[in-house]
Structure formats: structure tokens, C-alpha cells
Amino acid sequence: MSESVKDECKDPAEHHQHICQLRKDGRDEEVSTLMRDPGHICLNCNAVSKQPKNVCNPSPFARA
């Protein structure tokens, strides 16, 4: 997989609500809330989130 495809945001219109952007904006409390009870991982930056809409390139994972 090429880097350009791997780093592509699947929903650029909503990127302002993705964990990577929220971190850049210093919104740590909001990031913590979104990361509770995760079920999805971002294939770009490895951030985890409960909802796939909060990461750029989501992939579900099974919780232990």
C-alpha cells in the first residue's frame, strides 16, 4: 500500500472532529472522552476511538 493511500482521510469534511486534529488543537479532554471503550483504530495514526467517525481511516477491532 502506498503512503498516499495509507495516509488518506476517509472523511475530510469532518476532519476537524478526528482525534488527530483534536490533539493538534489541544483538546485533550475531548480526546480522552472519544477514546473511552474503543472499538476502532485509525490505520493512519493508530488512535483508538469508540466511533469510527472520530478517526481518519477507521478499522474495527475485537475487544478482549
Position 64 scores a pLDDT of 64
pLDDT at 53 over 50: yes
User: What domain range is 10 assigned to?
Assistant: 3-60
Model pLDDT for residues 10-47, shown as the tens digit of each residue: 999 999 999 999 999 999 999 999 999 999 999 999 99
Q: Classify strands 48-49 and 58-60 as parallel, antiparallel or unpaired.
A: unpaired
* pTM listed for this prediction: 0.82
pLDDT at 63 over 80: no
How many domains does the structure of the chain reveal? 1
Torsion of CA 9, 53, 24, 12, to 10 degrees: 30
For the chain, the straight-line distance linking the first and the last C-alpha, in angstroms and rounded, comes to: 28
